Structure 1
């Protein structure tokens, strides 16, 4: 089926949430080590057992995977696209860690990339559950 200019534009616009979320991740990664250290006590009020910010990587890249999945649309139901979503999130995680190497008080950490990819993989696995996938594809 040949795409018209309108359907191509709609396809491109579906990636806006992913681009916005990538900008959010970039902005949060731009915070210095001291700024991140001041945020932790705030969140520990609500989650007393939280000892580190590692959970933030899971959540951030879970959301990024969902946004990329939304952009890809129904094609994302195919295994090759599920793998691509996790790999794209991992690649963005690599660039995020590289970016952090230039921020005062921050250092790149391979474990963060692992956590990013786990968050993305959890999205891909959850959305593979038929009732959840049917609900998600209505958007």
Structure 2
């Protein structure tokens, strides 16, 4: 007996629409990965200048300055939260079921490759701690996606039950 996919209520029924959306999210994930690669290819002084600019903007918004370490780690966290979220969306639409573990693994492997890439960039270093921060960010992005999927699916199921009764 075939197991019912409870998440079918939020997936587009039209296969073409689902494929187009999956390709769209794969392209967004690739663009996000490209941005991460580009940011990692900046040498140490360029990277520090970008961090200082962000620190200046945040100091104006928050009213007090943040340390460079905090800003850099939050940047790692948020860029990988976005990557994890986008990979999760793409996999969900591609496979017709949610794959949070595969999303985390893909994001973590990209983080490892990114840190290895940074090892060869002047003024940059390969840090295992950053892989942990990146993976935690990806996990957070995937958890946010999971909550969105569960909430939207719950609403869709209630509507379906309401109108089919």
**What TM-score bracket applies, with the shorter chain setting the length?**
0.7 to 0.9
- For residues 103 and 9 of structure 1, what CA distance do their matches in structure 2 show? 37
Q: Which runs of 5+ in 2 are unaligned?
A: 1-14, 60-64, 154-165
Q: Is 1:129–2:147 an aligned residue pair?
A: yes
Instruction: Tell me how many residue pairs correspond in the alignment.
Output: 131
TM-score, normalised by the number of residues in structure 2: 0.69
- For residues 49 and 123 of structure 2, what CA distance do their matches in structure 1 show? 13
TM-score, normalised by the number of residues in structure 1: 0.80
Higher alpha-carbon Rg: 2
- Residue 127 of structure 1 and its aligned partner are, at CA, apart by 2.3
Q: Is 1:67–2:86 an aligned residue pair?
A: yes
The CA RMSD over aligned residues, in Å, is 2.7
- For residues 149 and 116 of structure 2, what CA distance do their matches in structure 1 show? 38
Q: Is 1:50–2:61 an aligned residue pair?
A: no
Q: Which has the larger helix fraction?
A: 2
- Residue 38 of structure 1 and its aligned partner are, at CA, apart by 1.4
Structure 1 SS opposite 2:52: helix
- Consecutive aligned runs of 4 or more in structure 1 exceeding 3 Å deviation: 5-9, 11-14, 74-78, 130-133
